[in-house]
Amino acid sequence: MSAVATRPSDAQLTEFRHRVRAHIAEHAPPFAAREGRRAPENAEQEAHLRKWFATLFDAGFVGADWPVEHGGRADHHPLHDRILSEEILRARAPRPVDQVNLAAHVLLHFGSADQKAALLPPMRRSEHVWCQLFSEPDAGSDIAAVRSRAAQQRDGSWVIDGQKTWITDGHWADMGLALIRTDPTSSRHHGLSVFAVPLSTAGVEVRPIRTINEAIEVNEIFLDGVTVPARNLIGEAGQGWSIIMAGLDFERFGIGGNVVLLELLIDDLVLVARNGILDGTGALEHDDIRQAVAELGVEVEVAKSFIDDHVERLVAGDERPGDGSIAKLSFGETYHRVSAYGAELAATVCTVTADPSVEQAKQRLRECWLWSRAYTVSGGSSEIMRNILAKRRLLLPSR
């Protein structure tokens, strides 16, 4: 990505925040974001989302960290990304698709000049929504175990066969970033390669998976004799593991950076608790409820403190191994605990207020809880994150 500019002053950051808020107020879609229901549910919503994401690129808010020659901004600073994420979340506006950011990161670091010229502009126009074709039925968080294969033909093209599963946004994505085994004699981290796969290619079949909250967020994707040209190989053949690991480190911090979602969860939890009646008394008058809410509030502050500290070290060039995994682990586990308790409390207490915001908070807590396990799995499960930290941060032996 582009070099880090001089740290903006507090006044400049405040001015940037005001510009972001004004942009959201003017351009955000006419529907609120919902956890576990981030994909469009119809053609009208999809059109709104694509237009919304394009405006964020056009305004220099998303993709600002790209090199200037590819649309980035010379004055970009990581704190701008933090502010943008915070304001989008607090406005409950739809977030940009994570997989687009990961694909851009991979292309900018490993793509050829021709690939950047062909694939980056459609991202910025939101003509190309990307998904990740990593996980498989027997290779979820352990993506080194992928079995989908590609064989190179005499003309240099590749024919891909295999199955991918739990593919977020696959049913409306245009492009897939695919991790495929290109050396049939290899195993584990070796012999893997990365391809850009247009999902309109013959042989690609997408089968949506309906989640527990009756939404379609993830999909199975079958690749049956899918032929892609040689130019769709990103980096060198066999370089796939290092490419994907670099991309996932970027994604994992992005997930952790959504810590504002935890603050919004706490706000909903407190709203329900303050308006809840249990056994004839206010919910917060019960010691156990008050204690639980307070403890969860502390957990949220701990997660937020790590993110704040990490951003400061990132700016100072002092990023440490495993920081992205810590952010991802902290966010995912805390999100699950807060939403699980919130959903339980919402189902337990009686609310008599006529304020519709209380019922909306209850609904959000239920939806967040139903979606919460996805955060402890997607982008690498919590167990994988702990293994990464053991090896990279604590330098513990594998055996």
3-state helix/strand/coil string of 247-288: HHHHHHHHHHHHHHHHHHHHHHHHHHHHHEEECCEEHHHCHH
Where does the chain show beta strands of DSSP type E?
130-133, 149-152, 158-164, 175-181, 192-198, 204-210, 216-228, 233-234, 276-278, 281-282, 350-351
87, 136, 217, 251: the active-site residue = 251
How far apart CA 179 and CA 69 sit, in angstroms, is 28
363 membership: H or E segment, kind and range: helix 356-375
Give the dihedral of Cα atoms 2, 61, 47, 123; nearest 10 deg: -10
How far apart CA 230 and CA 141 sit, in angstroms, is 28
Among 274, 211, 247, residue whose Cα is nearest residue 98: 247
Decide: 178 and 193 in contact? Cβ < 8 Å: no
User: Which residue has tokens 């991790």?
Assistant: 179
Strand partners, 227: 159
Contact partners, residue 54, CB within 8 Å, separation at least 6: 124, 125, 126
**C-alpha triplet 365, 371, 373: angle, nearest 5°:** 115
Dihedrals phi, psi of 332, to nearest 5 degrees: -60, -45
Can 251 be counted among the known catalytic residues? Answer: yes
How far apart CA 202 and CA 204 sit, in angstroms, is 6
- Active-site residues: which are they? 251
